Amino acid sequence: MLLVYQHAALSLGSKGFQQFCCFLLGSPIWEDGEKPTPQVSPVGSDVTFSCKARNLYGDGELDEPKWYRNGEPFPSGMWNKFVFNDDKTELTVKDVQKPHDITCIYCKYENDVGTTAADFSLVVINPIEIVGWSSSNSEGTEEIEGPVGWDGTDGTEGNERRFKILPGEFRNFSILAEIDEENIELRYTWVLRNETIVESDAYTFSDDGKSLTVDTRSLNDEEFGDVLGMYTVKIWHKHEEKFYRVELYTEPAIAPVAAAGGDLWWILLIILIVLLLLLIILIVCCCCFRNRGGTWPVDEKDRAAGHNPEKELENSGFHDLGRMDDDDDDYYYKKPLPDNDSLPSDRMFPNNEEDSLLEYSGEVDTSRFNEEGSFIGAYGKKKGGRPAPPPPPAHSRV
C-alpha cells in the first residue's frame, strides 16, 4: 500500500512544502474483519465454513487458501463428503455424523509479507427428539400418541394434529421433547397466525413452556373465534429448531331454518301442475292403446289348418262378386225347398212386426217353434208361406 505525506513549513515572509512517500506492506487480512468461527450442528445436517481474506489495498489478489483437517491436508477421494466452492473460500461438510466428523479445521492465506490463518472446530451433537405429545379436554380425556417421526425441521410433513373445542371448554396441549447433550436447554415458543402467544385469560403456559392450555370459559363469541386456528410450537436451542403443529377447530353453528310461509303455496301449485300433466299423459296413452286395434294372425291360422293362401291365389285368382238382381232375389225366395228338413220360411223371415207376433195371437202353431227357441214339432206339416232362401253360394278362400 502506498501512502503519500506532505509537510508544510511557515516563517516570516516565506512558506515551504515537503512531500514524501511511504509504502505499507502487511499480511492478508480477514474480509469485514470476520474470522471463521466454530460450528455446532446436529447429526445429519450439512455444515459450511467460510474463510475469506484479502491483501491490503493496491497489493493485488491473494492465492487460494489452504485447508487442513486435524493438521493434515484434506484427503483426496472424499469430495462427496467435503465440498469446496470454485475459489475454495467455502468448505461444506455433508451429512455430519457423530463421532467421526467431530474435527478441527485449519485455513491459511499467504502473501509475500506473511501468513494469516484461523483454526475452528466442528462439533456434532444429537438432534432434538420428539418423544411424544398429549392433549386433554374439559372432560379430562387423555389423547396420547408418540413417539412422533419427523420428516424435516419445518413441521410440514406428518407433524399436524386436529382437535375440536366447543364454547365454554378448554383444551390442553403438551409436547415432550429431549436432547442427549449436556449444557443445552430446550426452549418452547407457541405461535398462532404468525404471532407469538403470550399468557392471558385465554392462554396459560406451564413453567417450562412445554404445555399450553386454551381456556374459552370466559370468552365471548368473538373472542372464541380468535382462539381457533393452526397452532405452531417451536422447540429450539441455539444450534437447532423443530416445529410441531396442532389445529383447534369447532363445530359449525347450525343456522336457523327459515319458515317456508309464502313459498309453500308455490310448492303446492307446482305439485298440482305436475300431477295434472301426468293425468293428461295417462289419458292420452289409454286412448291410443284403445284405438289402435288388434292383430289377428289369420295367415298363421290358415297355414296351421293346412291351407296355402299364396298357392290358392295363384291357381284361382280373384273372383268378382256382383250385386244381386231382383230376379235373383225372387229366385231365392220362390225356389221350393228340396225336402221337408229345412225350417219353415215363415219362421225364418217374418215380414213385419205383426207376423212376428202371430204366435201370440193363436193363429200360428206354436208347437213347432216357441219363444224359448225350441224346435219340437218344427219338422211336421208346413202350412205354407214364403220359402226360406237358399244359402249363398260358396266363395273361394282368399
Q: What is the Cα–Cα distance from 373 to 7, expressed in whole angstroms?
A: 171
The more confidently predicted of residues 256 and 244 is 244
**What integer pLDDT is reported at residue 147 of this predicted model?**
39
At 339, the pLDDT band (50, 70, 90 cuts) reads low
What are the extents of the domains in the chain? 30-125, 129-249, 329-398
The DSSP code sequence of 267-324 is: HHHHHHHHHHHHHHHHHHHHHHHHHT-----HHHHHHHTT--HHHHHHHH------PP
| Domains 30-125 and 129-249 equal at CATH topology level | yes
The DSSP code sequence of 178-194 is: E-S-TT---EEEEEETT
At 150, the pLDDT band (50, 70, 90 cuts) reads very low
Give how far Cα 64 sits from Cα of 107, 109, 237, 287, Å. Answer: 10, 7, 35, 106
Domain covering 30-125, topology = Immunoglobulin-like (2.60.40)
Average confidence score pLDDT of the chain: 75
Average pLDDT over residues 133-150: 61
Query: Does residue 309 have a cis bond before it (omega within 30 degrees)?
Result: no
Q: Which helix (H) or strand (E) holds 328?
A: helix 326-334
pLDDT of residue 153 exceeding 50, the answer is no
Give how far Cα 192 sits from Cα of 8, 132, 245, 263, 340, Å. Answer: 70, 21, 10, 46, 125
Tell me the per-residue pLDDT of 289-310, one tens digit each, with 9 for 90 and over.
Answer: 777 655 556 666 677 777 776 7
Query: Does residue 390 have a cis bond before it (omega within 30 degrees)?
Result: no
Tell me the per-residue pLDDT of 127-141, one tens digit each, with 9 for 90 and over.
Answer: 999 888 888 887 776
- The whole model's pTM is what? 0.52
Choices 3.40.50.300, 2.60.40.10, 3.40.50.720, 3.40.50.261: CATH for 129-249: 2.60.40.10
